[in-house]
Amino acid sequence: MSTEQATESRTKGEPLLSVENLRTAFYTDKEVIRAVDGISFDIYRGETVGIVGESGSGKSVTARSIMRLVDTPGRIENGRIMYDGEDLLDKSPKQMRAIRGGSIAMVFQDPLTSLNPVYTVGNQIKEALRLHRGMSGSEATREAIDLLEAVGIPDAHRRVREYPHQFSGGMRQRAVIAMALACDPELLICDEPTTALDVTIQAQILELLEELQEERDLGIMFITHDMGVIAEIADRVNVMYAGEIIESAPVVELFKSPKHPYTQGLLNSIPGQGLEDGERLATIEGDVPTPNEDPNYCRFAPRCPKAFEECDTVHPEPVDVSDGSGPHRAACLLYPDDVSTEEAVAVHRNGEVRGGDTR
């Protein structure tokens, strides 16, 4: 998508959203699941920040934490979620309701969770317009039609009166995006919005999101398990594993020079280039562990082809691994790699993390 230069000029000034050391845990009868375990990242206006990782890595809990939609037995335990200069964790439930679907909108994998089957698509968009922008009557109807057109739904005059079941999967997701836009959001949180769609429709929706972003200077947080989708849509990427961000970098840098063995494994399992039909992809053996204890070790070590003894006893902290083209950090005992492994391990053990840029 955008050039690195554009990304750089965008990331000047204040971030729109700044997540700082966020921790969310689920207190089950059996264990405490540290689903989000001390993560930090920023989103600037006009940029798309990808969150990528396998199933169970904590992507959705991150999104739900930002929206303050964590259900019991989950609790946000620590951190700050700075939005427009204020901590969302200090907001009252009423204030949060106004923000949700207002200046922060969400799009989920299944459009039917956002659409009510008993109302027409138009009425649902009009309800959002009434609640968040005080519009009603023919003004709202006109705006609803405009929004359906803006998201590329043909014959919007007619379709505004139809019900969700009369829409195809791709058109439904477009309608959900129209509903999200009805509130004129600054930040769009997308949790696997294209996972259920076939590849052609998926590409169209990604393209639509990019167009809308450009027109409206939207900040987008885009969650996916698919590195191919990340390559298409993200400006910067945070790779999550078992509740932690283990690598973050501008997208070009991440693909060109992945540092964490987990990221390298994810990139090796992208379908496409060089593979014959039916040839098996290199996937990482095993599953993401449930993060149910304090990480005084590397949670990826059991699956890591490069793991060594200390990985079981030292927790890797994010360190600067950039080669000069934008902030790039990885949480792995192999880094920094310009010193001996022993010295690198000492950096993590002592928590003396290098690199001034904490982004």
Ligand X SMILES: Nc1ncnc2c1ncn2[C@@H]1O[C@H](COP(=O)(O)OP(=O)(O)OP(=O)(O)O)[C@@H](O)[C@H]1O
Residue whose beta carbon is closest to Ni ion: 60
* In the complex, minimum distance from the CB of residue 71 to ligand X, in angstroms, rounded to a whole number: 6
* In the complex, minimum distance from the CB of residue 61 to Ni ion, in angstroms, rounded to a whole number: 8
Residue 221 sits in the site that holds ligand X (CB under 6 A) = no
DSSP per-residue codes, 229-244: HHHHH-SEEEEEETTE
Residue 74 sits in the site that holds ligand X (CB under 6 A) = yes
Q: Which does 58 bind (CB under 5 to 8 A by kind): Ni ion, ligand X, none?
A: ligand X
Distance of CA 191 to the CA centre of its chain: 7
Contact set for ligand X, span 16-45 (CB under 6 A): 26, 28, 33, 35
Return all residues near 310 (Cβ < 8 A) that are at least 6 apart: 333, 345, 349
Residue 57 sits in the site that holds Ni ion (CB under 5 A) = no
Contact set for ligand X, span 282-301 (CB under 6 A): 290
Distance CA 41, CA 15 (A): 10
| Choice from 15, 58, 219, 250 touching ligand X (CB under 6 A) | 58
> Which regions of 291-350 does DSSP assign to beta strands (E)?
319-320, 329-330
Give the range of 59-67, 139-147, 273-281, 337-345 binding ligand X by CB under 6 A.
59-67
> Which regions of 53-143 does DSSP assign to beta strands (E)?
74-83, 86-87, 104-108
Tell me which residue of 12, 35, 106 sits closest to 359, measured CA to CA.
Answer: 12
Residue 224 sits in the site that holds Ni ion (CB under 5 A) = no
Residue 113 sits in the site that holds ligand X (CB under 6 A) = no
Residue 60 sits in the site that holds ligand X (CB under 6 A) = yes
* In the complex, minimum distance from the CB of residue 50 to ligand X, in angstroms, rounded to a whole number: 13
CB of 26 or CB of 167, closer to ligand X: 26
Distance CA 251, CA 327 (A): 11
* In the complex, minimum distance from the CB of residue 35 to ligand X, in angstroms, rounded to a whole number: 3
Residue 264 sits in the site that holds ligand X (CB under 6 A) = no
Rounded to 10°, the helix 137-150/121-133 angle is 110
Place of tokens 């169970």: 56
* Residue 352 CB burial class (10 angstroms; 0-12, 13-18, ≥19): exposed
**Contacts with ligand X, residue ranges (CB under 6 A):** 26, 28, 33, 35, 53, 55-61, 71, 74, 225, 290
**Contacts with Ni ion, residue ranges (CB under 5 A):** 59-60
